[in-house]
A and B are shown apart, each in its own frame.
Chain A
Amino acid sequence: MGRYPRDTTGYSAVMFHKVLVANRGEIAVRVVRALREMGIASVAAYSDADRGSLAVRLADEAAYLGPSPSSESYLRIDRVIDAAKRHGAEAIHPGYGFLSENAEFAEACATAGIIFIGPPAEAIRKLGSKTAARQLAIAAGAPVVPGTERALTGWEQARAAANSLGYPVLLKASAGGGGKGMRRVDRESELQSALRDAASEAGRAFGNSEVYVEKLVIEPRHIEIQILGDHHGNLIHLGERECSIQRRHQKVIEECPSPLMSSHPDLREHMGQAALKVARAAGYTNAGTVEFLVDRDANFYFLEVNTRLQVEHPVTELATGLDLVEWQLKIAAGERLTLRQEDVTWRGSAIECRIYAEDPDHDFMPAPGTIVHLSEPSGPGVRLDSGIFQGWNVPLEYDPLLAKLAVWGSTRETAIHRLDRALAEYVLTGVRNNIAFFREVLADAEFREGRLSTSFLERFFKTRKKTEADPESEAAAALVLTLESNGSGSPPLTKVSTNVSRWLDSGREELLR
């Protein structure tokens, strides 16, 4: 208890004693782990569907929020604050998604005397709307993609704006993230229905149906810069993550460094400085990410700022050796960012893939269900941020992210081989998932050469040849099923572990004797 060295920095900051984690899944586990390492008590907030979650099991305390739909639990500001008060938490870590980029929530925390672990509400507000962020970036001198500077007010305005930009254009939710409420429009005849769908999806996902339009950059790379700022005016960047492998604007593979940096050695510093300009103009503190599109000629354009910890933060941690969640907590507690820009170095190559409960063979349809068998990879250079276990029921109410598998290697090539090895070790059955699909992507020649763009997967699917199991594997499977159906197999393969202790079992056997 309280092992965290509170006084070593020499500043008057006092580290928290207890923190509420207002999130679920793997990110809740990630934050609970950081808290444990720092000697801070953790409170996992949970909904009905998450009562048995891994985060609840690993946390010191757990606080019930409400029914499973996030609108009645993880998105309820009043219930989250009440949970923190009930448990005596001094601060709330919002994770990503849910309330993490909600300025109203950050303000409600302040009103309740609780520290919100993230940027100030004012910075969230300035950057949270993509249109406002664009204006701020323009004023700060960062390059942007041409488009409307305000949310669209109606169909006529949308048509005029799209025509003047020239098709293809991209509709985007002002409040958005993760590809929700986003539509590519190639011609005017598609605009009206795309506008309706984007607004409806945005409204449902973010409670704000505002949409704006941008010129579409053809085959861009998506490269983002991690930033970190304290409450004492220190602000640094931790370099880039390349997240070009996306499907429907949802990132699936991320890496640091970007393969582009080897041919453009100054790009990291230029993008880093542009990111810091935007962050400074917004009065940013804590961890954040400035996203850019990079065109074929390595020109970069400001896209948006994610005012929270990113899903893909582990690749930055692996390449820099820094702990972003630890820094988030220290900064929120008022500590000084003792790390200077010149202290940040990048070593080797880190790649992460997002393990989703979705079916790659059926247009990535989400696939909730119960995990029948789970055997997770480990070994040198492997990091697994997982929110699941064997027997866990993946709820249909939330995002289908199950885990993030990240690896580190001395070179990008080594990292790719290591990731492939780890994926081959990974057994996850009962819930459709994309583990086998990632191995196909890693084998792709363009991926291996680092020729990435956000249209990579679209191209990949056009030429995809599904790798089939060999006949020997079929024979092995047939053998197992046959002996099992005959009742003569070894221990049954279908049995879901019930988490009953072996000691308990043997104790019962003793009693029966």
Chain B
Amino acid sequence: MKRRVIVNGRSGTIKIEGSRLRYDREDGVLIEGEFSLEGTSVLLNGRSYRVSKGAGTEIWVNGRELSMDVFDPRDLRPGQGMAANHGRQEIAASMPGKVIRILVAAGDTVEEGQGLIVVEAMKMQNEMKSPKSGRVVDVRVRPDATVGAGEILVVVE
């Protein structure tokens, strides 16, 4: 069994045959050996690892976090990758919260780093700033609105 691994932005492959594994990272790091797996416990070459999954690509090993994605190389479709950025930037809420203040209106010219909107979550107010200089084309929320994670709040072009 062979899988492609993306870990903290680096890529590699893992090959598993019986109780042997070979983890080969593109930067030359190579780990090989005998393993045993029991629930969240991995023994690799006699050393003990506790592995726990979190949300999304989050995975913890012995108290250290990794962001890891594993997929079958045969499933990889061409054409994936970064979408070309045509200068239009959507500012989205990174977590659920409440809109406290809106500092700009559609049509305003903004500088990079200028505050656009203030969102409160868990009693902390966070000012979201413009990622670029340009013009505000859309403000999609109103003050006091409750917003979900990923919801687009402001669009700057």
List the interface of chain A (C-beta within 8 A of B). Answer: 180, 197, 200-201, 204-205, 357, 362, 365-370, 372-373, 375, 396-400, 423-427, 429-431, 435-436, 439, 467-469, 471-483, 485-486, 489-491, 493-494
Q: Which of B79-87, B89-97, B106-114, B134-142 contacts A (4 or more CB under 8 A)?
A: B89-97
* Cβ A477 vs Cβ B68 within 8 A: yes
Other A-B pairs, 7, CB within 8 Å; known A474-B23, A477-B66, A479-B16: A372-B52, A373-B40, A469-B66, A473-B61, A473-B62, A477-B61, A479-B35
- Is B152 in the interface zone, CB < 8 Å from A? no
Given A366-B121, A468-B8, do A479 and B21 touch, yes or no (CB 8 Å)? yes
Please, how many angstroms separate the alpha-carbon atoms of A397 and B52 in the complex? 27
24 A–B pairs (Cβ distance < 8 Å), ordered by A: A200-B101, A200-B125, A201-B125, A204-B100, A365-B121, A366-B121, A368-B122, A372-B53, A373-B52, A396-B122, A423-B63, A429-B52, A429-B54, A429-B58, A430-B54, A469-B64, A471-B23, A472-B31, A473-B66, A474-B68, A478-B12, A479-B16, A480-B42, A481-B5
User: Is the Cβ of A480 less than 8 Å from the Cβ of B62?
Assistant: no
Instruction: Find out whether the CB atom of B120 lies under 8 angstroms from the CB atom of A204.
Output: yes
Complex: A494 Cα to B56 Cα, angstroms: 10
Is there an interface contact between A373 and B53, defined as CB atoms closer than 8 Å?
yes
A479, B54: Cβ atoms under 8 Å?
Answer: no
Q: A373-B53, A483-B37 are in contact. Are A396 and B121 (CB under 8 A)?
A: yes
State the CA gap A67–B62 with chains docked (Å). 39
Determine whether the beta carbon of B51 is less than 8 Å from that of A426: no
Check A427 against B50 for contact (C-beta < 8 Å): yes
Q: Could you tell me if B95 and A365 are in contact, using CB atoms closer than 8 angstroms?
A: yes
Complex: A370 Cα to B94 Cα, angstroms: 16
Residue ID in chain A nearest B60 by CB atoms: A429
CA A489 to CA B38, docked complex, whole Å: 9
User: Does A427 contact B122, Cβ atoms closer than 8 Å?
Assistant: no
A473–B64 touching, CB < 8 Å: yes
| Partner-A contacts on B (CB < 8 A) | 1, 3, 5, 7-8, 12, 14, 16, 21, 23, 25, 29, 31, 35, 37-40, 42, 44-45, 47, 49-55, 58-66, 68, 70-72, 94-97, 100-101, 120-126
Closest B residue to A363 by beta carbon equals B126
| Across-interface contacts of B64 in A (CB, < 8 A) | 436, 467-469, 473
Residues of chain B within 8 A of A425, CB atoms compared: 63
- Considering the complex, give the chain A residue whose CB is closest to the CB of B43: A476
- Contact call B51/A375, Cβ cutoff below 8 A: no
Closest-by-CB residue of A relative to B7 is A474
User: Which among A369, A435, A476 is the interface contact of B51 at CB below 8 angstroms?
Assistant: A476
B residues in contact with A473, CB < 8 Å: 49, 61-62, 64, 66
Q: When the two chains form their complex, are residues A426 and B63 in contact, meaning their CB atoms are under 8 A apart? A: yes
Which of A397, A435, A474 has the most chain B CB atoms closer than 10 A to its own CB? Answer: A474
Which of the residues A180, A372, A426, A476 comes within 8 Å of B42, measured between beta carbons? A476
Please state if A478 and B70 are interface contacts (CB–CB under 8 Å).
Answer: yes
With most chain B CB atoms within 10 A of its CB, the pick from A197, A424, A427 is: A427
Residue pair B50, A366 in contact (C-beta under 8 Å) = no
Question: Known contacts A369-B55, A473-B61; is A478 also within 8 Å of B23 by CB?
Answer: yes
A476 to B40, CA, bound (A): 10
Q: A429-B60, A478-B3, A482-B3 are in contact. Are A471 and B53 (CB under 8 A)?
A: no
Chain A residue, CB-CB nearest to B71: A485
**Which single member of B25, B29, B37, B38 contacts A479 (CB below 8 Å)?**
B37
In the complex the two chains form, what is the Cα distance from A185 to B141 in whole Å?
Answer: 31
Task: For the complex formed, measure the closest distance between the CB of A479 and the CB atoms of chain B, giving whole angstroms.
Answer: 6
Contact B16 A483 (CB under 8 A): yes
**Other-chain residue from B25, B42, B62, B124 in contact with A471 (beta carbon distance below 8 A):** B25
Instruction: Let me know if A490 and B37 touch, CB within 8 A.
Output: yes
Residue of chain B at shortest CB distance from A491: B39
Q: Which residues of B contact A429 (CB under 8 A)?
A: 52-55, 58-60
Partner pick for A485 among B63, B70, B94, CB 8 A cutoff:
B70
Complex interface: chain B residues within 8 A of A370 (CB): 55
Closest 6 CB pairs of A and B: A429-B54, A366-B122, A475-B23, A473-B61, A469-B64, A476-B49
Task: State how many angstroms separate the Cβ of B87 from the closest Cβ of chain A.
Answer: 25
Give which listed residue, A365, A368, A475, contacts B44 with CB less than 8 A: A475
Q: Give CA–CA (A369, B31) in the complex, Å.
A: 34
Q: Which residue from chain A places its CB closest to the CB of B61 in the assembled complex?
A: A473
Do the beta carbons of A489 and B37 come within 8 Å of each other?
Answer: yes
Distance of A501 Cα from B14 Cα, bound (Å)? 37
A367 contacts B95, C-beta separation under 8 Å: yes
**Is the CB–CB distance between A366 and B65 below 8 Å?**
no
Query: For residue A366, which residues in chain B have a CB less than 8 angstroms away from its CB?
Result: 95, 121-122, 124
Chain A residues with CB under 8 Å of B72's CB are: 485
Instruction: Note all chain B residues with C-beta closer than 8 A to A479.
Output: 14, 16, 21, 23, 35, 37, 42, 44
From the candidates A205, A365, A436, A472, name the one contacting B94 in the complex (CB within 8 A).
Answer: A365
Name the B residues within 8 Å of A180 (CB-CB): 123
A399 with B123: CB separation less than 8 A: yes
List A contacts of B124 (CB < 8 A): 366
In the bound assembly, the distance between CA atoms of A431 and B149 in angstroms comes to 14
